[in-house]
Chain A
Amino acid sequence: MSKGMPGTHTPRGIVIGHGEFAAGLVSAVDQICGMAGKLVSLSIRGLTPEDIETAIQEELARTGARVIFTDLPAGSATLAARRLVRNDLGLMLVSGVNLATLLDFVFNTEASPEDAARSAAERGKASLIVIERS
């Protein structure tokens, strides 16, 4: 599927989180739809707050991506991303990312990165459900 889709390997989002969280999510996106090329994964392991900010900045510059996905609202990746968003109009941060969020984002290629990020966040929120025996 991915081979036939235009722009599949142009990253639009950067996923960053603790441990192997980001790589795992991107790997899951790839397994489901083969569109891991739309995303870049980063880990904060062993990095200072300044290093995290620099790593994100470098990937933004290298890829042209305009959306950052982080795992935990209280995490240092989120704090670093918020510093970047503060100084860069049009850069978006989605915190609390999950697989449903990323799948919506990578398929939403017609929308602007900003609209795609908003839509993806809504999809991610809606994917959290509790099921119990009634």
Chain B
Amino acid sequence: MGIHLYRIDDRLIHGQVVVGWGQPLNARFLVLVDDLVASSDWEKELYRMAVPPEMEIFFADVATATRDHAKYAADPRPGILITGDIDGMLRLAKGVKAIGSVNIGGVHYRAGRGEKLRYVFLTPAEEQLLRALEGSGVEVTAQDVPSARAVPLAEVLDGESK
């Protein structure tokens, strides 16, 4: 079992993750990798209360997630790992060679970001980070919900699918 989905999603834990992906994957644990959340008891409690009782949630900063990844991967239950931004996932992937694929689930509009897909907006710097992630041997696709098509990174970046 272990981690079935590595996802970049700026909403972190929300309906698409808990229900949209959590149900079909039968996810029983979530790993929320975010330096800010991991350092705040209030933020951790906020997200803890957002997950259903049958799901366990772990909080970690990138360094801790890198150190503890083998433990998550060995968990007999199916799980989902989420980072809130591309940089966090890239830093994690640099330290964890076992990550084979990454799902871009939601990077929403912000000043300086251009639209690539309905749910993916990127700055030029973020595009470079995604290229670096793929260049490190990780398959990168965008897919907001399981029923949608997984859009390969090259297609995401050329913006033709939006």
Contacts and interface: CB of A to CB of B under 8 A. Distances in A.
Interface of A: 18, 46-49, 51, 71-76, 78-79, 82-83, 86
Contacts, number: 46
8 contacts: A48-B10, A48-B110, A71-B15, A75-B14, A75-B50, A79-B13, A79-B14, A79-B47
B19 A72 contact: yes
B50 A74 contact: yes
Contact of B52 (A51, A74, A78): A74
Contacts of A71: 15
Contacts of B51: 74
Contacts of A18: 15
B108 A79 contact: no
A83 B109 contact: no
Contacts of B58: none
Interface in B71-106: none
Nearest to A83: B46
A49 B18 contact: no
Contacts of A75: 14-15, 50
B162 interface: no
B108 A46 contact: yes
Contacts of A72: 15, 19
Contact of B109 (A46, A74, A82, A86): A46
Nearest to B106: A48
Contacts of A83: 46
B67 interface: no
Nearest to B13: A74
A82 B118 CA distance: 26
Contacts of A79: 13-14, 46-47, 50
Given A46-B109, A74-B17, A76-B15, 9 more contacts: A46-B119, A48-B10, A74-B14, A74-B52, A75-B14, A75-B15, A76-B11, A79-B14, A79-B47
Contacts of B11: 48-49, 76
A127 to B, nearest CB: 21
Contact of B108 (A47, A78, A86): A47
